[in-house]
Structure 1
Amino acid sequence: MTSSTPHSGPGSPRTPDRSPFLDNAKFLLIALVALGHSWEQVITPHTPVLRAVHNLVYGFHMPAFILLCGYFSRSFTGRPDQIRRLLTGVLLPYLIFETIYSFVYHWLRGTELAITPTSPTYLCWFLIALFLWRLTTPIWKAVRYPLPLSIVISLAAGTTLISGDLALPRVLMFLPWFVLGLRLRPEHFAKLRTRTARLIAVPVFAGVFALAYWLSPYPSDDWLSSDADNTVLNVSLVQYLLIRLALFAVTALLVASFLALVPGRRTWLTGLGAVTLYPYLLHGILLRVAEYYGAFRVVREAGIPGVLVLSATAVGVVVLLSTPPVRAVMRPLVEPRLPKWLVPRAEAVSAPATVPTAAAEREKTLAG
């Protein structure tokens, strides 16, 4: 999300223009992603509080993630060098981990081994969605009223039968958050960095948690994951539109409140926020392994203490997967290089001196 020297890897020393606030936000969001994926394995009808916390987190963590993706995509114009970095920073990791997750699901869940890059497996949907969102950036810069237009597209996607190929339902339904990120500027974030905003954020979270507890077990995961149309959700067209608009409003409040509470100074988690692609892609594999060996059954039987241990473990795993040793081993998979024969000769020769590294560009494009 900012440039680094050609010899620096992901998580290398921060450059002066890099904002600790944004890196802190990214780390907290990837931690919430891992927590959410862990909690959903142990939620039962007898855990209404956990269900409410889960719904609260799912109400804002992906929209906030996507908003930051849009914010860091503001400079994208579709230049050849940007396209190449998008290929190495997003598309190639997607293809690699889509293949890896296909094998993981085959070995651990016994599913048929089928590598289907047009049908994302588990959390890989986010990478292909980011690839498509980023490619459309010039469009949103070219049209008037991009945010209202994206909201119309998002609502229309939920009232239309759309194929799940390339995660299109989520690509379209989450689109407004990416477009909103494109429209934001540093001064917009600065308005949230006030004591008043932080004081407002606390009751907002408390109020939405109370609402989530009262509505539990609703809204269902299908509403919050934005991948189901009104027929799947079994509501009328009018009901669907009203609920989606209400969710937009609540999510906007939660995203703003979350950003208001994010620390603005450098902390121990700031550096980890620069390398969130590693824990994002890798933690899902560990979750599936834990599921296979019955770890979540043990957590469910342990009750509240088990959930607390699970939560601490999930955050610890995110930290561990962000460390230099793990990144050194996994770099060829998470940060693959474009084959030299695909790079124009002149640019391949001059790249080290003039073109930011794939890691640097990824940190500009991927907010997590």
Structure 2
Amino acid sequence: MFHAPHGYQRAPLPPGRESEPVPTTQQARTPVRDTPGEKSTPKSTRRDAYFDNAKYLAIVLVAVAHAWEPVMDGSRASRALYLLVYTFHMPAFILISGYFSRSYTGRPDQLRRLLTAIAVPYIVFEVVYSLFRRWAQHAPEQPISLLDPFYLTWFLAALFIWRLTTPLWRLIRWPLPVALAIASLAAMTPNIGADLNLQRVLQFLPFFVLGLLLKPEHFQLVRRREVRLLALPLFAGAGLFAYWAAPRMNFSWLYRSSSAQELGVPWWTGIAMTLAFFGCAVLLTAGFLAWVPRRSTWFTVLGAGTICGYLLHGLLIKAADYGHVFETYTWLSDPGGEILLTFVAAAVVTLLCTPPVRRAMRWVTEPEMAWAFRRDTTELGPRR
């Protein structure tokens, strides 16, 4: 039976506006260049089709990988594809999220957006997922804890923490080496605990910090033709290595939710795996971004609704899990069944990203909540 993750155990890794989560429902705006000593340019309100395309394609990979998880164990090829996708899809989301957080300074308007776009969806869906589990498993005694993110909600909790620390990373001299050191220390520190999924928050931190360090020219670089061509042998080689590693690797390394000691290996392995996975994830993310279309496409508009696709598709995965769908229909583990699941997952998450769904979910994914904030505090940020 497919057991979905809970707490600090293995969890799916999911889905930019400068002060929103990557799976955002607002416009993705080109961030302000606010490097010290550099003159800031005016913010653009025009959507960037490239980042919308990247978000949509990444959320499709997230949904497809979640659909593979309960049926992949009998197929080495499926496990290899799962390993390949999971190596980079969440790092790509976090990196882009960090990129669009570069201008976050803690202004009142930014703090308000942090609460309404991240904290509120986290609280609502943490409760929804927990109540759904209670109802489906007939277990009313199961607790609801806002400190123990359940299933997909861990990403919102992590992003809330990462964004609050943005001014600190812009202050220190060597932010990326420091973030990698923190991630390595976390990977060799057992029993960190489940509160806010801190183990995962710390181990994924370097990707957010790397995003903070990127500039528009870096994304222009990966979109060059020669980089696109280099991405082909990169993914081919990564696929072959994943096929070799699939039956040998403990996939718990992918989820960043455990220390080396908890996985039964020496402490120093945590450092080695942190650095190795970081390097692989950065390369594969660059290869993925190199092939993201730069022009507007039929799915560009769906990039604005990826937070809906991210949060809602998890309910369907959990419903299939609680309903023992993957156990009942064992043919889903066959190649034909896995292909069918791939198309179904892609189609469903596409539907969940459409504008009608986004409008229907706006009350929770992008609430105004003007009643909850002081008027003078709310208006202070834009005046600055």
What is the TM-score of this pair, normalised by structure 1? 0.88
Partner in structure 2 of residue 258 of structure 1: 288
In structure 1, what residue type is equivalent to 2:254?
A: L
Partner in structure 2 of residue 60 of structure 1: 88
Unaligned stretches of 5+ residues in structure 1: 4-8, 356-368
Per-residue CA shift, 1:275-317, capped at 9, x if unaligned?
2111111110011112233332355414111111111111111
Q: Is the 8 A contact 1:99 1:115 kept in 2?
A: yes
Asked if 1:318 corresponds to 2:346, the answer is no
Residue from 87, 104, 123 that aligns with 2:132: 104
Q: Any residues of structure 2 matched to 1:143-292 within 5 Å, and which?
A: 143-161=172-190, 162-292=192-322
Q: Is the 8 A contact 2:305 2:355 kept in 1?
A: no
CA distance in 2, matches of 1:85, 1:106: 31
CA distance in 1, matches of 2:98, 2:222: 18
Q: Is the 8 A contact 2:203 2:274 kept in 1?
A: no
In structure 2, what residue type is equivalent to 1:329?
A: A
What is the TM-score of this pair, normalised by structure 2? 0.85
Residue 10 (structure 1) shift: 4.3
- Report the CA distance shift for 1:236/1:301 in structure 2 as closer, same or farther (over 3 A): same
CA distance in 2, matches of 1:191, 1:345: 43
Residue 221 (structure 1) shift: 2.5
Query: Which of 70-79 and 286-295 deviates more?
Result: 286-295
Q: Is the 8 A contact 2:55 2:93 kept in 1?
A: yes
Q: Is the 8 A contact 1:24 1:269 kept in 2?
A: yes
Asked if 1:42 corresponds to 2:71, the answer is yes
Per-residue CA shift, 1:27-79, capped at 9, x if unaligned?
111111111111101112x2110000000000000001000010000010011
In structure 2, what residue type is equivalent to 1:187?
A: E
In structure 2, what residue type is equivalent to 1:293?
A: G
Q: Any residues of structure 2 matched to 1:332-343 within 5 Å, and which?
A: 332-338=363-369, 340=371, 342-343=372-373
In structure 1, what residue type is equivalent to 2:93?
A: F
In structure 1, what residue type is equivalent to 2:348?
A: V
Query: Which of 284-293 and 145-154 deviates more?
Result: 284-293
- Report the CA distance shift for 1:113/1:339 in structure 2 as closer, same or farther (over 3 A): farther
Q: Is the 8 A contact 1:42 1:297 kept in 2?
A: no
Secondary structure of the 2:115 match is: helix
In structure 1, what residue type is equivalent to 2:257?
A: D
CA distance in 2, matches of 1:113, 1:339: 34
Q: Is the 8 A contact 2:91 2:207 kept in 1?
A: yes
In structure 1, what residue type is equivalent to 2:250?
A: S
Q: Is the 8 A contact 1:55 1:219 kept in 2?
A: no
Secondary structure of the 1:117 match is: coil
Partner in structure 1 of residue 39 of structure 2: none
- Report the CA distance shift for 1:86/1:97 in structure 2 as closer, same or farther (over 3 A): same
Moved over 4 A (4+): 9-16
Residue 194 (structure 1) shift: 1.1
Partner in structure 2 of residue 51 of structure 1: 79
Identity %: 46
Unaligned stretches of 5+ residues in structure 2: 1-15, 19-23, 30-43
Partner in structure 2 of residue 133 of structure 1: 162
Q: Is the 8 A contact 1:212 1:218 kept in 2?
A: no
Residue 346 (structure 1) shift: 3.5
Q: Is the 8 A contact 1:299 1:307 kept in 2?
A: no
Asked if 1:86 corresponds to 2:114, the answer is yes
Q: What is the aligned-residue RMSD (CA, Å)? A: 2.2
Residue from 52, 56, 72 that aligns with 1:27: 56
CA distance in 2, matches of 1:13, 1:227: 30
Asked if 1:305 corresponds to 2:349, the answer is no
Per-residue CA shift, 1:76-123, capped at 9, x if unaligned?
001111111100000011000000000111122344332100000001
Q: Is the 8 A contact 2:52 2:304 kept in 1?
A: yes
CA distance in 2, matches of 1:119, 1:234: 24
Q: Is the 8 A contact 2:109 2:382 kept in 1?
A: no
Partner in structure 2 of residue 124 of structure 1: 153
Query: Which of 300-309 and 204-213 deviates more?
Result: 300-309
- Report the CA distance shift for 1:307/1:132 in structure 2 as closer, same or farther (over 3 A): same
Secondary structure of the 1:59 match is: helix
CA distance in 2, matches of 1:245, 1:100: 36
CA distance in 1, matches of 2:169, 2:205: 11
Q: Is the 8 A contact 2:25 2:306 kept in 1?
A: no
In structure 1, what residue type is equivalent to 2:169?
A: W
In structure 2, what residue type is equivalent to 1:82?
A: Q
Residue 218 (structure 1) shift: 3.8
Q: Is the 8 A contact 2:186 2:203 kept in 1?
A: yes
